[in-house]
């Protein structure tokens, strides 16, 4: 829940034309040097679902006979620390995976202790070191995203976002190769495109990727094409097939991939190549899985010929499961359940098969009884540790009290307060559907929010309320500050405690208004912005000079949002962040010194195929800061999730994790991609972007 929807129809008025023509057009410079640290503090934000992922990699062994396949019990392969996912078997007793432990992204390789006959990857780094875990990317920025690792000989191939792209909304995801003993690293993706989901051919010679040349804000299926290139240096880049993702190799001339067909079903396809030296051509493409259920993220192995692993969403299950498709009996493919018989009520993601065909792996939530509790504040590596510490918070719209001791947040439906040091229990202060949260700067224990439906039209009944929470056990005193319910929302108080800026749909359009903070609109109202578009998500600067907000006035009625600032007296309007037509920049919040903004945006595009993750309405959301003059943009988060609703407090919260106490069932509380829901697809009620 991070982006406000615009109105469905608007007119372009003279006023908006004026703004379109005369507003200063500020363009982004490529990622610039951090300005001198001026403000110690902390940035806290939300990632949809991620605080409850608790992913680990699990596996079953496969016994394949001439005409049958059997599977053993499930074993957990990773250690239950943080989030471990997107595995790869370099051999049947080593596992390579992505781990987000310690607030960073690392590619780790573990020697599996449970397996006696250890055959190391043919590599000196692993021999006789006495270690059982190797960090294969110690040389890359710990902040950047690393994903989809695979290993062939001495070449580690993976996706990384450590190099900024050349323009706003172009993904930073590129495929890299690191020589694991020298750590010599090469980019294999041309600068002008983004590559996802790399897979090395069994011989190691070729790598296949899903490549994106232009992103038009797809949030379900990316419009990727398959390309091959030489693993050694990225040369001989060759187009293979349009509209295809998540490729894998069965042998050096057979690929599987997924795509969504015109009727909306995801299916797995087989591509046969002709390979003569460096000359590659596509001979045939055939669909393997039928319509009627979704099949995607295929995996194959030369050790298990004629079998492909897939993830499915079938109409008779609400869960994503792993299956094997036995293709060996031409004309009568059979499907073998891998996970549904083991854990029917859990989602399972992104299968992979060992090179000898003896193991299948995937990741799933490890559950509540097995591992560490979720984190209320998850400390992430800050790009400017002197200036701010950075935290992912388990709840949306976090805001820190003026004394730094409490955090208010939303967990729909309901508003809660917790101590920032994790002590005590979480207190529900309002049980209705309300968003966001903002503390009064002067009156202790007063929190503003808006009560009603989020993402709703101008006429929806939403009103601003203040919540006085008093002492620990006192009942919340609720005061309504607006009337009429014309979608009055996003209150932000002035630093002197006297005023509130908010957005209201009372004119038929969502614009900004200012009212008295204790008497509300009954004591009068001042309209700050006016026009047939949406101005929303306003924030009053700590020095009182500015109000930042998000607006679609560049294209009224459109779903693109840019960040603007205006003085509280209505002068000085200017645009600060714009990521292009239809782009997204939302939820601006001032730094404690009022010189920067933190916000969420699609500035860095998407970083992975969305179907490989649980649900994120807006998988392009990352957190950025920018100077209020529009210079010095910095990317704080690198991931394929939906990051949003940031807060910036002047208090420096110690850069360490703060746990929460939760009942077991809440540990895995996140959704699979909503648009895979079979009923939603059939009724055509799914399939919309945000
Ligand atoms: C964890 O991160 C801190 C810095 O935030 C670093 O000093 C420490 O070495 C890291 N630990 C591991 C095990 O990577
Ligand atoms: C297809 O294979 C299954 C077992 O794998 C068998 O039970 C079934 O009879 C076969 N169907 C046909 C039409 O051959
Ligand atoms: C409006 O407010 C700004 C910032 O406080 C101030 O610099 C400016 O002089 C004011 N303009 C008017 C017309 O009051």
Q: Would you say residue 586 lies in a domain?
A: yes
The mean per-residue pLDDT over the stretch 265-281 comes to 95
Q: Closest Cα to atom 14, ligand 2: which residue? A: 332
Least confident of 62-76, 346-360, 644-658: 62-76
Q: Closest Cα to atom 13, ligand 1: which residue? A: 102
The mean per-residue pLDDT over the stretch 165-172 comes to 94
Q: Is 386 left (phi over 0), alpha (psi -120 to 50) or beta?
A: alpha
> Which run of H or of E encompasses 409?
strand 406-410
Higher pLDDT, 28 or 584: 584
Last residue of a domain, one of 314, 339, 365: 365
On whether both 258 and 396 belong to a single domain, the answer is no
Residues 6+ apart with CB under 8 A from 48: 1, 2, 615, 616, 617, 641, 642, 644, 670
Least confident of 26-40, 435-449, 674-688: 26-40
Q: Closest Cα to atom 7, ligand 1: which residue? A: 102
Q: Is 321 left (phi over 0), alpha (psi -120 to 50) or beta?
A: beta
The mean per-residue pLDDT over the stretch 332-359 comes to 96
Q: Phi and psi (nearest 5°) for 212?
A: -120, 120
Q: Is the dihedral of CA 674, 641, 579, 159 positive or negative?
A: negative
62-66, 70-74, 116-120, 641-645: range with highest mean pLDDT: 641-645
How many CB atoms sit inside 10 A of residue 281's CB?
Answer: 10
Q: Would you say residue 661 lies in a domain?
A: no
On whether both 304 and 436 belong to a single domain, the answer is no
The mean per-residue pLDDT over the stretch 354-368 comes to 92
Pocket of ligand 1 (CB under 6 A): 102, 381
C-alpha to C-alpha distance for 401 and 440, rounded to whole angstroms = 8
Q: Phi and psi (nearest 5°) for 618?
A: -130, 75
Which atom of ligand 2 lies nearest, measured to the CA of 326? 5
Which atom of ligand 2 lies nearest, measured to the CA of 332? 1
Cα–Cα–Cα angle for 170, 229, 279, rounded to 5 degrees: 140
Q: Indicate whether 687 pLDDT > 50.
A: no
Q: Would you say residue 660 lies in a domain?
A: no
The residues with which 226 forms a beta bridge, in sequence order, are: 210, 241
Task: Supply 554's token pair.
Answer: 């560049």
On whether both 201 and 249 belong to a single domain, the answer is yes
Which atom of ligand 1 lies nearest, measured to the CA of 106? 14
Residues in the chain: 690
Distance 105 CA to ligand 3 centre (A): 46
Burial of 276 (0-12, 13-18, 19+ CB in 10 A): exposed
Q: Which of 495, 502, 499 is nearest to 529 (CA)?
A: 502
Which ligand places an atom closest to the C-alpha of 68?
2
Percent of the chain having pLDDT more than 90? 78
Task: Supply 82's token pair.
Answer: 């943080």
In the structure, what pLDDT confidence band is assigned to residue 155 with cuts at 50, 70 and 90?
very high
Last residue of a domain, one of 342, 365, 388: 365
Whether residue 369 has its Cβ less than 6 Å from ligand 3: no
On whether both 383 and 276 belong to a single domain, the answer is no
Q: Which of 529, 511, 558, 550 is nearest to 646 (CA)?
A: 550
- Tokens 């690198």 correspond to what residue? 638
Residues 6+ apart with CB under 8 A from 113: 132
In the structure, what pLDDT confidence band is assigned to residue 444 with cuts at 50, 70 and 90?
very high
The mean per-residue pLDDT over the stretch 69-92 comes to 93
Last residue of a domain, one of 332, 365, 398: 365
Q: What is the pLDDT of residues 102-116, one digit of tens each?
A: 999 999 999 986 554
C-alpha to C-alpha distance for 233 and 290, rounded to whole angstroms = 37
Q: Radius of gyration (Cα) for the chain, nearest Å?
A: 26
Give a three-class secondary structure readout of 285-354. Answer: EEECCCCCCEEEEEECCCCCCCEEEEEEECCCCCCCEEEEEECCCCCCCEEEECCCCCCCCCCEEEEEEC
C-alpha to C-alpha distance for 592 and 547, rounded to whole angstroms = 14
Q: Is 553 left (phi over 0), alpha (psi -120 to 50) or beta?
A: alpha
What pLDDT score does 547 carry? 98
Least confident of 25-34, 269-278, 461-470, 634-643: 25-34
What pLDDT score does 453 carry? 84
The mean per-residue pLDDT over the stretch 336-358 comes to 96
Candidates 67, 325, 326, 334: which one to mutate for ligand 2, based on the most atoms within 8 Å of Cβ? 334
C-alpha to C-alpha distance for 70 and 63, rounded to whole angstroms = 5
On whether both 231 and 342 belong to a single domain, the answer is yes
What pLDDT score does 119 carry? 53
Q: What is the pTM of this model?
A: 0.91
What pLDDT score does 595 carry? 97
What pLDDT score does 684 carry? 46
Q: Closest Cα to atom 8, ligand 2: which residue? A: 332
Q: Would you say residue 251 lies in a domain?
A: yes
What pLDDT score does 309 carry? 98
In whole angstroms, how far apart are CA 272 and each of 17, 204, 240, 252, 421?
A: 54, 18, 10, 9, 57
Q: Would you say residue 665 lies in a domain?
A: no
In the structure, what pLDDT confidence band is assigned to residue 18 with cuts at 50, 70 and 90?
very low
Q: Indicate whether 24 pLDDT > 50.
A: no
Higher pLDDT, 27 or 474: 474
Domain span including residue 382: 2-49+373-654
C-alpha to C-alpha distance for 592 and 442, rounded to whole angstroms = 16
Q: Which of 561, 558, 415 is nearest to 478 (CA)?
A: 415
What pLDDT score does 464 carry? 97
DSSP result, 215-261: ----SSS---EEEEEETTTS-S-EEEESS-EEEEEEETTEEEEEEE-
**The total number of structural domains that make up the chain:** 2
Q: Which of 298, 304, 340 is nearest to 65 (CA)?
A: 304
The mean per-residue pLDDT over the stretch 50-73 comes to 91
Q: Would you say residue 683 lies in a domain?
A: no
What pLDDT score does 457 carry? 82
User: What's the whole-number average pLDDT of the chain?
Assistant: 89
On whether both 232 and 346 belong to a single domain, the answer is yes
Contact predicate 646/601, CB 8 Å: no
Q: Indicate whether 33 pLDDT > 60.
A: no
Contact predicate 358/92, CB 8 Å: yes
- Cα–chain center distance at 470: 36
On whether both 266 and 393 belong to a single domain, the answer is no
In the structure, what pLDDT confidence band is assigned to residue 1 with cuts at 50, 70 and 90?
very low
Residues 6+ apart with CB under 8 A from 403: 444
Q: Indicate whether 249 pLDDT > 60.
A: yes
CATH of the domain at 133: 2.120.10.30
Candidates 101, 102, 104, 141: which one to mutate for ligand 1, based on the most atoms within 8 Å of Cβ? 102
Q: Would you say residue 678 lies in a domain?
A: no
> Which run of H or of E encompasses 88?
strand 84-91
What pLDDT score does 26 carry? 30
C-alpha to C-alpha distance for 86 and 110, rounded to whole angstroms = 14
Q: Closest Cα to atom 2, ligand 1: which residue? A: 102
On whether both 611 and 649 belong to a single domain, the answer is yes
On whether both 533 and 625 belong to a single domain, the answer is yes
Cα–Cα–Cα angle for 389, 4, 586, rounded to 5 degrees: 35
What pLDDT score does 4 carry? 37
Least confident of 281-290, 426-435, 449-458, 661-670: 661-670
Q: Phi and psi (nearest 5°) for 429?
A: -105, -15
On whether both 524 and 388 belong to a single domain, the answer is yes
Distance 82 CA to ligand 1 centre (A): 14
On whether both 261 and 401 belong to a single domain, the answer is no
What pLDDT score does 5 carry? 35
> Which run of H or of E encompasses 110?
strand 106-111
Q: Would you say residue 674 lies in a domain?
A: no
On whether both 96 and 37 belong to a single domain, the answer is no
Q: What is the pLDDT of residues 204-223, one digit of tens each?
A: 999 999 999 999 999 999 99
DSSP result, 500-535: EEEEE-TTSSBEEEEEETTTEEEEEEEE---SSSBE
Q: Closest Cα to atom 9, ligand 3: which residue? A: 571
Burial of 489 (0-12, 13-18, 19+ CB in 10 A): buried
In the structure, what pLDDT confidence band is assigned to residue 471 with cuts at 50, 70 and 90?
confident
The mean per-residue pLDDT over the stretch 553-563 comes to 95
Contact predicate 172/165, CB 8 Å: yes
Please state whether beta strands 596-601 and 294-299 pair in parallel, antiparallel, or not at all (unpaired): unpaired
> Which run of H or of E encompasses 99?
strand 94-99
């Amino acid at each position: 829940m991070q982006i406000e929807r615009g109105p469905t129809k608007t007119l372009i008025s003279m006023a908006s034309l004026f703004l379109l023509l005369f507003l200063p057009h500020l363009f982004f410079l490529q990622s610039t040097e951090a300005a001198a640290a001026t403000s110690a503090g902390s940035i806290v934000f939300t990632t949809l679902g991620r605080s409850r992922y608790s992913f680990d990699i699990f596996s079953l062994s496969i016994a394949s006979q001439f005409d049958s396949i059997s599977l053993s019990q499930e074993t957990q392969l990773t250690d239950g620390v943080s989030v471990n996912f997107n595995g790869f078997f370099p051999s049947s007793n080593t596992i390579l995976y992505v781990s987000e432990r310690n607030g960073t992204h690392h590619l780790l390789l573990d020697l599996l202790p449970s397996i006696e006959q250890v055959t190391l990857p043919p590599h000196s780094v692993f021999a006789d070191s006495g270690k059982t875990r190797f960090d294969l990317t110690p040389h890359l920025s710990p902040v950047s995203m690393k994903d989809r690792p695979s290993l062939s000989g001495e070449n580690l191939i993976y996706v990384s976002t450590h190099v900024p792209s050349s323009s706003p909304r172009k993904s930073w995801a590129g495929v890299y190769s690191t020589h694991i003993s020298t750590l010599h690293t090469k980019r294999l993706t041309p600068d002008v495109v983004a590559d996802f989901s790399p897979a090395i051919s069994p011989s190691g010679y070729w790598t296949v990727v899903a490549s994106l040349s232009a992103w038009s804000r797809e949030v379900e299926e990316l419009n990727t094409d398959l390309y091959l290139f030489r693993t050694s240096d990225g040369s001989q880049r060759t187009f293979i097939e349009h509209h295809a993702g998540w490729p894998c190799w069965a042998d050096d001339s057979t690929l599987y991939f997924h795509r969504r067909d015109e009727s909306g079903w995801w299916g797995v396809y087989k591509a046969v190549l002709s390979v003569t030296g460096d000359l590659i051509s596509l001979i045939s493409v055939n669909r393997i899985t039928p319509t009627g259920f979704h099949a995607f993220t295929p995996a194959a192995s030369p050790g298990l010929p004629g079998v492909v692993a897939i993830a499915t969403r079938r109409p008779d299950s609400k869960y994503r499961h792993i299956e094997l498709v036995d293709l060996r009996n031409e004309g009568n493919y059979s499907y073998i359940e891998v996970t549904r018989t083991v854990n029917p009520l859990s989602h399972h993601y992104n299968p992979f098969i060992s090179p000898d065909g003896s193991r299948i792996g995937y990741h799933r939530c490890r559950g509540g009884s097995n591992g560490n509790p979720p984190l209320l504040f998850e400390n992430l590596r800050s790009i400017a540790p002197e200036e701010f510490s950075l935290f992912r918070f388990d709840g949306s719209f976090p805001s820190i009290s003026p004394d730094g001791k409490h955090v208010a947040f939303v967990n729909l439906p309901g508003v809660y307060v917790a101590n920032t040091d994790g002590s005590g229990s979480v207190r529900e202060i309002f049980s209705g559907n309300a968003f966001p949260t903002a503390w009064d700067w002067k009156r202790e224990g007063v929190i503003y929010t808006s009560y009603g439906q989020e993402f709703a039209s101008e006429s929806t009944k939403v009103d601003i309320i203040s919540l006085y929470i008093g002492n620990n056990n006192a009942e919340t005193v609720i005061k309504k500050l607006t009337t009429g319910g014309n979608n009055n929302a996003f209150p932000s108080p002035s630093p002197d405690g006297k005023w509130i800026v908010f957005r209201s749909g009372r004119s038929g359009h969502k614009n900004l208004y200012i009212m008295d903070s204790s008497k509300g609109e009954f004591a009068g109202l001042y309209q700050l912005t006016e026009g047939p578009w949406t101005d929303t998500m306003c924030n009053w600067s700590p020095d009182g000079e500015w109000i930042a907000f998000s607006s679609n006035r560049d294209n009224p009625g459109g779903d693109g949002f840019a960040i603007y600032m205006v003085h509280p007296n209505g002068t000085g309007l200017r645009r600060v962040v714009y990521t292009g037509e239809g782009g997204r920049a939302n939820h601006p919040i001032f730094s404690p010194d009022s010189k920067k903004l933190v916000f969420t945006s699609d500035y860095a595009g998407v970083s992975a195929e969305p179907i490989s993750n649980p649900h994120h309405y807006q998988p392009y959301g990352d957190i950025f800061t920018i100077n209020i003059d529009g210079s010095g943009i910095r990317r704080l988060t690198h991931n394929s999730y939906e990051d949003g609703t940031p807060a910036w407090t002047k208090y420096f919260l110690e850069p360490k994790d703060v746990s929460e106490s939760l009942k077991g069932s809440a540990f895995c509380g996140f959704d699979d991609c909503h648009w895979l829901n079979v009923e939603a697809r059939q009724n055509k009620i799914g399939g919309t972007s945000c």
